[in-house]
Amino acid sequence: MSFDFQKIPTSVAVLLLAFLLGVLSSAIVSRQRETRQSQERSTAEIRSDEWHRLYEAAGMTGDGEIIVEVRNRLLCTNREGETIGVKIDIDLNSWCRLDDGTLKDLSQYIGNGSFSDQILKSHSDWSLRNLDFLKSVDSGVKARQYVREHRWP
């Protein structure tokens, strides 16, 4: 059985062509949107992964000063995970001493959905998914070297 395209009325052919072009353009727009969202997520995911690695390596050093330093930097990150200062305590209150020397109340950077809370809450799950990294910093010497080379994402 063969089909004779010449018997299709022109209006039906135009409608069919318009429909197919609409489907194609919709697919292209959808793909571009997915790509853009994936690129946006990847930056946040990369920074999150960098902090998890640094936090884990600091813990693996066994050095209390390094652990506190990394934690205090992590606590003073903005919502994008960029370090903006370091946590300090003054008169039983916690502050972020910003890199420019000004002080900000730490509570401005900690709260539901903040970057540091997300890292701290998800770290044990991250560790289980990244056992190869844990093996790469399995000694105090390796962990200390990692922290030295990868300061502040």
Residues 66-103 pLDDT 10s? 999 999 999 888 888 888 888 999 888 889 898 888 88
DSSP-based three-state secondary structure for 93? strand
- Residue the block writes with tokens 């420019």: 100
**Could you report the per-residue pLDDT of 38-69, keeping only the tens digit for each?**
555 567 788 999 999 999 999 999 999 999 99
Whether the predicted pLDDT of 111 surpasses 90 = no
Q: Length of the chain, please?
A: 153
What are the residue boundaries of the structural domains of the chain, listed by start?
A: 51-149
Q: What is the 3-state secondary structure (H, E, C) of 21-87?
A: HHHHHHHHHHHHHHHHHHHHHHHHHHHHHHHHHHHHHHHHHCCHHHHHHHHHHHHCECCCCCECEEE
Weakest-pLDDT range from 22-31, 53-62, 99-108, 116-125: 22-31
DSSP H or E stretch at residue 89: strand 85-90
pTM, 2 dp = 0.68
